[in-house]
């Protein structure tokens, strides 16, 4: 048995794969197996894997027909021999001390999993940080302590759901019998919530060990109709929260995140997909109305999310929906402008009152002839 199994789904990643593999094989922690799942690649990825495998006996290669990351990760889990599991994406890389640092912490504190920060890398912009991956509020709250979801309250929704910034105990994953769904994208969310809500001992290392590459060839970089899977993902998340008997406690967050995410993904997809996406939203939101009731949803949804929901439900077409959203945006902007102008209007009114007082004062009246003569000379 090895200490850590590193599982890497590989699909047409020839451009970045060598960097990824180099960051793994050169880890300061050497007691690892590297399970590479070739997910039906049609480029040179498999040849690269085989070349690396010739020079490093720790590399194990498995090929499957293209079935997505969820399937590849599940198959990797199925053949893994490590006491601990680490997932890696084939177009990213990690710092060379990542596995050593995480292993030391997870063993010392007897954790279910340990997580860390990620940093983005774009070939044009370079490195840049975002709150979703920095998780600053989580760091401030938990510091160096051991915690579970119960300690975070509403901050649970600020934990990065990605599996690539976590080292897991294999026995813990086996005990809760967790798998990635294979029929949808954004499958990370389902795996994360099952794992996160089951874990009793978690720790957060506030270090940017993982370099996430942003490019148009990634799964989430190619917006299309499959982005509508976000609706099904959130429905399954609802069921997970019900399973753990905490749905009512977090229902407000869950409803708002679903509507916000659906509209965000709708805006990302290409124009050809928008009509089909709208129809799916209408069907899904109608089911929500039937299951949870109008009063419940209207009370829970915040501001613009309520506008989005209502426009989806009451619009008969994509054009009608878009028009309704634009009208609501205009109303919202007008409301903001009125709010911003309140102070300005108060100042204007105050100045008008001061001017009226000045014009009616004796000194203003007495000096009127002098001002008239002064203006004559100016002209």
- How many Å apart are CA 58 and CA 35, to the nearest integer? 8
- Whether residue 294 is predicted with pLDDT greater than 80 in this model: the reply is yes
Count how many residues are written for the chain.
379
Q: What are phi and psi of 89, to 5 degrees?
A: -95, 140
Give me 301's structure tokens: 């949804």
* Model confidence pLDDT, tens digit, residues 104-121: 999 999 999 999 999 999
Cα dihedral: 357, 360, 361, 365 (round 10): 150
pTM, full prediction? 0.87
pLDDT-derived band of residue 217, with 50, 70 and 90 as boundaries? low
> 13 near 90, Cβ under 8 Å?
yes
Strand, helix or coil for residue 81:
coil
pLDDT value at residue 35: 98
Mean pLDDT of the chain: 91
pLDDT value at residue 364: 45
- How many Å apart are CA 32 and CA 36, to the nearest integer? 13
pLDDT-derived band of residue 216, with 50, 70 and 90 as boundaries? low
- The CATH class, in words, for 4-222 is alpha beta
pLDDT value at residue 280: 97
> 148 near 201, Cβ under 8 Å?
yes
- Whether residue 365 is predicted with pLDDT greater than 80 in this model: the reply is no
- The arithmetic mean of pLDDT across residues 171-190, rounded, is 97
Residue 214 neighbours by CB distance under 10 Å: 16
- Cα 102 versus chain centre, distance: 23
pLDDT value at residue 373: 47
pLDDT value at residue 81: 97
* Model confidence pLDDT, tens digit, residues 240-275: 999 999 999 999 999 999 999 999 999 999 999 999
The percent helix, strand, coil of the chain (3-state, each to 5) is 60, 15, 25
């Amino acid at each position: 048995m090895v200490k850590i199994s590193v599982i890497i789904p590989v699909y047409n990643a020839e451009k970045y794969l060598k960097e990824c593999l180099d960051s793994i094989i050169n880890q300061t922690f050497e007691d690892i197996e590297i399970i590479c799942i070739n997910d039906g690649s049609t480029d040179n990825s498999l040849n690269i894997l085989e070349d690396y495998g010739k020079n490093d006996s720790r590399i194990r290669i498995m090929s499957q027909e293209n079935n997505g990351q969820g399937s590849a990760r599940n198959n990797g889990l199925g053949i893994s021999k490590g006491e601990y599991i680490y997932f890696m994406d084939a177009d990213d890389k990690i710092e060379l001390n990542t596995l050593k640092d995480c292993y030391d912490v997870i063993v010392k504190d007897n954790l279910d999993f340990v997580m860390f920060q990620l940093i983005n890398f774009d070939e044009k912009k370079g490195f840049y940080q975002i709150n979703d991956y920095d998780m600053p509020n989580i760091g401030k709250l938990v510091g160096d302590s051991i915690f579970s979801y119960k300690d975070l309250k509403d901050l649970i929704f600020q934990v990065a759901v990605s599996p690539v910034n976590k080292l897991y105990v294999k026995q813990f994953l086996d005990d809760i019998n967790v798998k990635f769904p294979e029929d949808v994208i954004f499958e990370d969310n389902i795996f994360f919530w099952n794992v996160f809500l089951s874990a009793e001992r978690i720790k957060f290392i506030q270090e940017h060990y993982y370099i996430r590459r942003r490019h148009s060839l990634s799964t989430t970089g190619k917006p299309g109709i499959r982005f509508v899977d976000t609706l099904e993902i959130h429905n399954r998340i609802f069921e997970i929260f019900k399973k753990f008997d905490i749905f009512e406690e977090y229902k407000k967050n869950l409803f708002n995140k679903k509507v916000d995410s659906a509209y965000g993904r709708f805006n990302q997809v290409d124009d050809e997909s928008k009509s089909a996406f709208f129809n799916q939203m209408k069907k899904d939101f109608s089911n929500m109305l039937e299951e949870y009731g109008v009063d419940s949803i209207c009370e829970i949804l915040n501001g613009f999310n309520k506008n989005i929901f209502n426009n989806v439900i009451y619009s008969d077409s994509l054009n009608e929906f878009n028009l309704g959203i634009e009208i609501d945006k205009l109303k919202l902007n007008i409301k903001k402008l009125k709010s911003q102008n309140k102070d300005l209007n108060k100042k204007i009114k105050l100045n008008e009152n001061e001017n009226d007082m000045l014009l009616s004062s004796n000194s203003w009246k007495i000096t009127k002839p002098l001002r008239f003569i002064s203006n004559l000379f100016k002209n």
